[in-house]
Amino acid sequence: MHKLEAKDIVKEYTSESGIRKPKILVSEIANGFRDGYYLGYQLFKRDLQASVRQSLLGFLWHFIPAIITASIWIFLNGQKVVTIQNVPMDYPAFVLTGSILWALFSESVNKPLQRFQGAKGMLTKLNFPRESLIIAAYFDVLFSAFLKLIVLVPALLLFGITPSFDWILAFLGILGLIFLGLSIGMLLVPVGMLYSDVSKGISFVLQISLYLSPVIYPMKDSGWVGMMQKLNPASSFIEIIRSSLGHYNFNLSAELILFSIIGLILFFIGIILLKLTLSSVLERIGV
């Protein structure tokens, strides 16, 4: 009987082979998502159970930071330490929704790199579709979004905001926000696995970007802050979600379309880069 060797089951890609055979590369990626779906779900389920067993607060960590952030700004605004003006909805509902959505976007950006870093041993010892790690990351963030909505929706009802058909658009916007964040995160995986500075840099950039997005205060119509808010890829998604939930006008349609297209492009670039570079990255880091 023929002995199955590593060379029989492991396919390596280079940038040259990917360019010469794009159809084969695309087919391999599609098959990887199809074949890796079940494994991705099992990885998500296993890690979820492990995180609950090893944590006293468990699921609460999915929304505690966002609630604390919102509470601080609600307190500061209420005490007139800072004054937030021209808010299109009740400020506590405004900042709570923004904080939860920004936390969800931040998780989406960080999750792909966390998944691949945590699976370094698997990547070198086992032959499995690498796309399953991306699928697991999607499940991670979707579950986190579900928990956040469990907190956000009752809070909005308490603030006197009534449900409407526009909420369907808000939920679609949440999926778009998650997709954008994960696409950005996938693009950073190869260099992030090589250098630990990348994960620290991501956290730093996200902290700074919080103040350049319509989370704590509303969109500005002009000035440097207004321009930076519009250039922030998450801003239009946050606004379409919150305006749909809070029943106020949405004015960033062009930015939403632009960054939706950019998100799709980044997704395909990210998955192709992972396919072409992952073997070299693993070899270089020596795992």
pLDDT in tens, 153-163: 888 998 889 89
- With a cut of 50, say whether residue 17 has pLDDT above it: no
DSSP state, residue 16: H
Residue 68 is assigned to a structural domain of this protein: yes
Segment 126-155 mean pLDDT: 90
pLDDT at res. 18 = 46
Q: How confident is the model at residue 256 (pLDDT cuts 50, 70, 90)?
A: very high
Residue-by-residue DSSP string for 129-185: -THHHHHHHHHHHHHHHHHHHHHHHHHHHHTTPPP-THHHHHHHHHHHHHHHHHHHH
pLDDT at res. 26 = 78
Helix (H, G, I), strand (E, B) or coil at 73: helix
Residue 269 is assigned to a structural domain of this protein: yes
| Whole-number Å distance between alpha carbons of 228 and 234 | 11
CA triple 118-123-128, angle to 5 deg: 115
| Whole-number Å distance between alpha carbons of 105 and 181 | 6
CA triple 191-54-179, angle to 5 deg: 40
pLDDT at res. 49 = 80
pLDDT at res. 61 = 64
CB 110 within 8 A of CB 15: no
Residue 127 is assigned to a structural domain of this protein: yes
pLDDT at res. 3 = 42
- Could you tell me the residue range of the domain that residue 198 belongs to? 21-285
pLDDT at res. 284 = 83
How many residues does this entry show for the chain? 287
Q: How many domains does the chain have?
A: 1
- With a cut of 90, say whether residue 1 has pLDDT above it: no
Residue 40 is assigned to a structural domain of this protein: yes
Segment 59-69 mean pLDDT: 70
| Whole-number Å distance between alpha carbons of 110 and 180 | 12
CA distances from 69 to 7, 63, 75, 129, 271 (A): 51, 10, 10, 38, 33
- With a cut of 80, say whether residue 5 has pLDDT above it: no
* Greater model confidence, 107 or 69: 107
Residue 10 is assigned to a structural domain of this protein: no
